[in-house]
């Protein structure tokens, strides 16, 4: 039976019209991998990151995490630069580092894809943050590979944020979102924020039972384009028609007037528990978010080009 199937497949392949094959590859350098998010690759990144163990800000493990991210970006031809600073937290002084990789596009205006790569500090149990801190970082590494191979009308930036998590057990005041607040302040000071046209933030997108609600702090047109794309792909079982409100790394960008959307599944039983491990997450969930974000991107670009 296997032989017969192979024979049929061969015939079908030979019969495929040449112009269709050409179309499927258009806009890409010859021999390039298909322009699709590969959750197999993303999963491997996630496995490696979780394997490092707990990765709180300022730790040797987060330094190791940065090395992993930089090495993976370098493997697809991208150089990550470090934005480093020190901040006083309620419990200690921490050296934070954001990682930034830029893919120049036809325009210098930027679309930024961001997520945090730190994991929350716990002393009472081992917290490896498979979804919370792991999924966003793994996702961005794979997205970088895909977008590097794409012809981008806007410059694309991959932004790996440090210090999203509160240092104290409870989220309060300015003891959180250290990386995004620093990035926005620095961008205001050197005026680079003026070229930032949209922020797409991902956080906790690994949940096996993926149910992402519209986040109501987020910019409505950006949210609509993403949820519309999910509907087109029949992935509205994961991007659901309910709303929630979450404080996250997009807030400093919104306050600075940057259209921003937070793609987050906070409805996660393992959230901030020892159970946020590989068992609680799935490659399929990363694939879903990758497919939806890539399907929404042309519409986001068209909207930004129109608004100019
Ligand atoms: Zn968290």
pLDDT means over runs of 10, the chain (308 residues): 40 38 41 77 98 98 98 98 97 97 98 98 97 98 98 98 97 96 98 98 98 98 98 98 97 98 97 98 98 98 91
Cα 147 to ligand 1 centre (Å): 27
User: Beta partners for 101?
Assistant: 80, 158
Cα 77 to ligand 1 centre (Å): 30
For residues 71-87, one letter each, b for 16 or more C-beta atoms within 10 angstroms of the residue's C-beta and e for the rest, the string is ebbeebebebeebebeb
Give the contacts of 35 (CB within 8 A, at least 6 positions apart).
27, 28, 146, 149, 150, 294
Cα 271 to ligand 1 centre (Å): 7
Cα 28 to ligand 1 centre (Å): 37
Contact 210, 263 (CB under 8 A): no
Q: Measure the CA–CA gap between 77 and 17, rounded to whole angstroms.
A: 33
For residue 212, what pLDDT is reported? 98
Cα 305 to ligand 1 centre (Å): 34
Cα 221 to ligand 1 centre (Å): 26
Cα 119 to ligand 1 centre (Å): 7
DSSP 8-state assignment for residue 131:
I
The helix (run of H) or strand (run of E) holding residue 203 is: strand 196-203
Cα 174 to ligand 1 centre (Å): 15
Cα 268 to ligand 1 centre (Å): 11
Cα 144 to ligand 1 centre (Å): 23
Cα 165 to ligand 1 centre (Å): 6
Residue 57: CB atoms within 10 A of its CB come to: 25
For residue 308, what pLDDT is reported? 64
For residue 2, what pLDDT is reported? 41
For residue 10, what pLDDT is reported? 39
For residue 35, what pLDDT is reported? 82
Cα 120 to ligand 1 centre (Å): 6
Cα 131 to ligand 1 centre (Å): 9
């Amino acid at each position: 039976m296997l032989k017969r199937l192979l024979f049929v497949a061969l015939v079908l392949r030979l019969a495929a019209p040449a112009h269709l094959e050409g179309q499927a590859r258009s806009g890409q350098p010859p021999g390039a991998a298909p322009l699709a998010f590969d959750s197999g690759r993303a999963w491997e990144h996630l496995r490696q990151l979780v394997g490092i163990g707990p990765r709180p800000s300022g730790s040797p493990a987060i330094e190791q995490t940065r090395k992993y991210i930089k090495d993976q970006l370098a493997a697809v031809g991208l150089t990550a630069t470090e934005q480093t600073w020190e901040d006083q937290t309620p419990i200690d002084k921490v050296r934070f580092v954001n990682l930034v990789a830029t893919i120049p596009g036809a325009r210098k205006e930027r679309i930024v894809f961001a997520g945090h790569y730190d994991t929350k500090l716990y002393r009472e149990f081992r917290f490896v943050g498979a979804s919370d801190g792991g999924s966003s970082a793994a996702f961005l590494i794979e997205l970088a590979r895909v977008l590097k191979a794409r012809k981008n009308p806007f410059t694309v930036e991959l932004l790996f944020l440090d210090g999203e998590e509160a240092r104290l057990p409870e989220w309060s005041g300015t003891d959180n979102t250290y990386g995004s607040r620093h990035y926005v302040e620095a961008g205001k000071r050197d005026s680079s924020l003026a070229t930032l046209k949209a922020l797409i933030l991902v956080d906790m997108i690994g949940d096996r039972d993926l149910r992402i609600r519209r986040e109501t702090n987020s910019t409505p047109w950006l949210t609509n384009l993403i949820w519309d794309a999910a509907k087109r792909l029949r992935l509205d079982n994961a991007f659901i028609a309910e709303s929630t409100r979450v404080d996250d790394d997009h807030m400093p960008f919104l306050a600075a007037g940057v259209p921003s959307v937070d793609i987050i599944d906070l409805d996660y039983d393992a959230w901030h528990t020892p159970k946020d491990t590989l068992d609680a997450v799935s490659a399929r969930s990363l694939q879903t978010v990758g497919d939806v974000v890539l399907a929404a991107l042309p519409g986001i670009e068209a909207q930004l080009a129109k608004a100019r």
